Amino acid sequence: MSHHKLEVKDLHYAYPDGHQAVSGISFLIRHGESVGIIGANGAGKSTLLMLIMGVLFPDRGEVCVGDIPVTKKTLPMIRQRLGMVFQDPDDQLFMTTVYDDVAFGPRNYKLDEKEVEKRALHALDLVGITDLKDRAPFKLSGGEKRAAAIATVLSMQPDVLVLDEPTAALDPRSRRRVMGLLQGFEHTKIVTSHDLDMILEICRRTIVLKNGEVTADGPTREILLNPELMESCGLELPLALQNCPVCGTGK
């Protein structure tokens, strides 16, 4: 399914103040893959996501979704196929009800109101918050907001889900719930996070960024189990793989 692949070719981007955030990143993500993108703060994760989504445009190199390069002209089509969930759900939820927020995307693509309703209710059902559809987003709990934010993207039926820190600031149960949701999706997934345990569970493949470059790209277990690599990139082994704090033995 070549039309579902996502290819990043030799991407370079510097912010207007001269800070080189991304320099020479390349990778290919195939249909159905779930890929974690990890790295210390300032490694270029968020900038990379913005470049993939076409919020920023690279100084050099290109991003291709299927065989279509991300350019200003192709943005409407690209954004229908890539759905991004922001780190802060409050940025994503701005309508007066959860339903209107979930319906916002499909309505923008001028779908028939019946189809909009079908998609919105299906997306709400997928994340299990159908009962919250008439609530005001600002009155939801952190976990519910995150689920609603994911639903706003699912209603657009994207091929690729891009998630920026999906488990940040969630309590353990909400975190587990969001992880369960993500594991249930068959979409191609790109997840950036500092929650390495979550990456270990959800992503088969991991890309490690350091100073705007790809330091490692391979199976998650190999990468996250490599203490030297993790250390050199300002990261640590996932907590699940660290020594037991009580008996001092490794798992």
Residues that bind another protein (CB under 8 A): 53, 55, 76, 79-80, 83-84, 86, 88, 90-92, 94-97, 100, 103-105, 107-110, 113, 116, 134, 136, 138, 152-153, 156
**Residue number with CB closer to another protein (189 or 205):** 189
To another protein, the closest distance from the beta carbon of 112 in angstroms equals 9
**Residue number with CB closer to another protein (151 or 214):** 151
**Residue number with CB closer to another protein (133 or 210):** 133
To another protein, the closest distance from the beta carbon of 66 in angstroms equals 18
Angle formed by the axes of helices 172-184 and 142-154, to 10°? 20
To another protein, the closest distance from the beta carbon of 65 in angstroms equals 13
Sign, Cα dihedral of 166, 205, 43, 13? negative
Neighbours of 124 (CB within 10 A): 24
To another protein, the closest distance from the beta carbon of 73 in angstroms equals 13
Amino acid at 167: T
- Rounded CA gap, 83 and 52, in Å? 11
**Residue number with CB closer to another protein (110 or 173):** 110
To another protein, the closest distance from the beta carbon of 83 in angstroms equals 8
**Residue number with CB closer to another protein (149 or 223):** 149
**Residue number with CB closer to another protein (28 or 55):** 55
To another protein, the closest distance from the beta carbon of 16 in angstroms equals 14
- Rounded CA gap, 95 and 98, in Å? 7
To another protein, the closest distance from the beta carbon of 96 in angstroms equals 5
Neighbours of 118 (CB within 10 A): 14
**Residue number with CB closer to another protein (90 or 222):** 90
- Rounded CA gap, 223 and 200, in Å? 10
